[in-house]
């Protein structure tokens, strides 16, 4: 574990932050995701990687290439399987000496191992930022990452990392909300950073796994023949509004309660963008009341997804940190379009499971036919 959450701009004045959302895998990890992330680290060369929730699938007792197979029983065994799962996403960064940070999603807490115990696994890696180790009012994954100029003594940029979901084992229910304690902590910490910055708010990105309800202002109902139309379970045919960028593959699944977080962000005046994941096929950006909402599609190949699987990049310049640049790399852009890369994608992507079985069944039928013909000739 690193000593503090502080990050510095490069001597060039640039900072490259890479977001990985919903890697969501287990012990027997999909190799396509590992290859994609390895290529991303080597291509992008980030100064910081942020995992924005659903970093593991959650229930680590069932894990198999196809179907379910119980591979662990009890907390101790589950913990060991979880360590192996987390190792898949942390070890490549440890090897490259790239600092990383994380928050939890709704899946991370769905097991016998608590968030605090999981946090200790992440902290066992020397490149992991320590997260929240001091404030008992908020969760271990609720903290901020101050970014200093390459040779300065005060932060000129900041990143908010907020917990947004937890699983109640007694009720067997997942709750999705920003707790009131989190909002109060944000307002207090933002005010302190503003005061230390001479009264000027420190420009910030805010990361939370599940999008805020205000993101729905970027979506409108439409007809089935309209450009970008998507048939959703919630609202029928919908699409992104014209002033948005990117792709919406599903209607955003938003937080049940935010306890006034968006209003607090408007009041504090420091948040430039609120960044989330959670919806695996959404990868878009749009602005509402002066704050940009960014949703990033999944990196996972174990769970449902689309051709938009990949990673997001933020470029910040210390000379004007409020004017960041954001862009996205897909699997194809990171791994290429060679037959081997396409086959790796097809074989590992879970939403293609029916097609895979059809291919295997077809291959078996052809093989049986060939063998039958050979035996008949003999």
Cβ pair 61, 70 in contact under 8 A? yes
**Is 366 contained in some domain?**
no
pLDDT reported for residue 349: 92
**Is 368 contained in some domain?**
no
Contacts 24+ apart (CB under 8 A), 92-96: 92/34, 92/37, 92/38, 92/41, 93/41, 93/49, 93/125, 93/127, 94/125, 94/126, 94/127, 96/41, 96/42
What CATH number is given to the structural domain containing 193?
A: 3.60.21.10
pLDDT reported for residue 320: 95
**Is 193 contained in some domain?**
yes
pLDDT reported for residue 215: 98
pLDDT tens digits for range 155-175: 999 999 999 999 888 888 889
With 0.75 as the threshold, say if the pTM is over it: yes
Closest CA to 103 of 157, 138, 143, 133: 143
H helices of 165-309, in order, are 180-196, 261-268
**Is 25 contained in some domain?**
yes
Cβ pair 130, 101 in contact under 8 A? no
> pLDDT tens track of the chain, all 378 residues?
999 999 999 999 999 999 999 999 988 899 999 999 999 999 999 999 999 999 998 766 666 655 566 677 788 988 998 999 999 999 999 999 999 999 999 999 888 889 999 999 999 999 999 999 999 999 999 999 999 999 988 899 999 999 999 988 888 888 999 999 999 999 999 999 999 999 999 999 999 999 999 999 999 999 999 999 999 988 999 999 999 999 999 999 999 999 999 999 999 999 999 999 999 999 999 999 999 999 999 999 999 999 999 999 999 999 999 999 999 999 999 999 999 999 999 999 988 878 877 877 776 777 767 676 666 676
Q: What is the number of structural domains in the chain?
A: 1
Cβ pair 246, 240 in contact under 8 A? yes
**Is 364 contained in some domain?**
no
pLDDT reported for residue 362: 78
pLDDT tens digits for range 296-309: 999 999 999 999 99
pLDDT reported for residue 110: 86
Residue 88 DSSP symbol: H
pLDDT reported for residue 75: 87
Q: Which domain does 266 fall in, by range? A: 7-336
């Amino acid at each position: 574990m690193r000593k503090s959450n502080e990050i510095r701009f490069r001597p060039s004045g640039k900072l490259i932050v890479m977001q990985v959302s919903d890697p969501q895998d287990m012990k027997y990890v999909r190799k396509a995701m590992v290859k994609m992330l390895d290529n991303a680290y080597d291509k992008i060369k980030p100064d910081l990687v942020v995992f924005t929730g659903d970093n593991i699938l959650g229930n680590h007792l069932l894990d198999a290439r196809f179907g379910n197979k119980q591979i662990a029983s009890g907390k101790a065994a589950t913990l060991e399987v979880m360590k192996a799962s987390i190792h898949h996403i942390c070890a490549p960064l440890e090897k490259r000496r790239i600092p990383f940070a994380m928050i939890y999603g709704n899946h991370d807490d769905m097991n016998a191992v608590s968030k605090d115990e999981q946090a200790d696994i992440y902290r066992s890696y020397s490149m992991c930022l320590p997260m929240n180790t001091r404030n008992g009012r908020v969760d271990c994954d609720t903290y901020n990452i101050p970014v200093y100029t390459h040779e300065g003594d005060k932060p000129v940029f900041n990143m908010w990392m907020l917990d947004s979901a937890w699983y109640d084992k007694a009720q067997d229910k997942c709750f999705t909300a920003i707790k009131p304690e989190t909002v109060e902590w944000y307002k207090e910490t933002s005010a302190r950073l503003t005061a230390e910055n001479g009264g000027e708010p420190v420009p910030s990105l805010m990361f939370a796994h599940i999008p805020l309800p205000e993101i729905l202002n970027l979506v409108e109902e439409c007809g089935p023949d309209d450009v970008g139309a998507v048939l959703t379970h919630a609202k029928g045919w919908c699409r992104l509004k014209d002033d948005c960028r990117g792709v919406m593959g599903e209607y955003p699944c938003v937080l049940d309660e935010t306890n006034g977080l968006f209003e607090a962000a408007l009041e504090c005046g420091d948040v430039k963008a609120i960044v989330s994941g959670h919806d695996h096929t959404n990868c878009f950006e749009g602005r509402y009341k002066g704050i940009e909402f960014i949703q990033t599609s999944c990196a996972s190949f174990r769970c449902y997804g689309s051709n938009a699987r990949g990673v997001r990049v933020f470029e910040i310049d210390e000379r004007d940190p409020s004017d960041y640049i954001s862009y996205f790399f897909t699997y194809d852009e990171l791994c290429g379009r060679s037959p081997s890369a396409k086959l790796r994608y097809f074989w590992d992507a879970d939403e293609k499971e029916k097609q895979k079985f059809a291919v295997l069944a077809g291959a078996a039928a052809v093989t049986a036919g060939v063998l039958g013909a050979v035996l008949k000739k003999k």
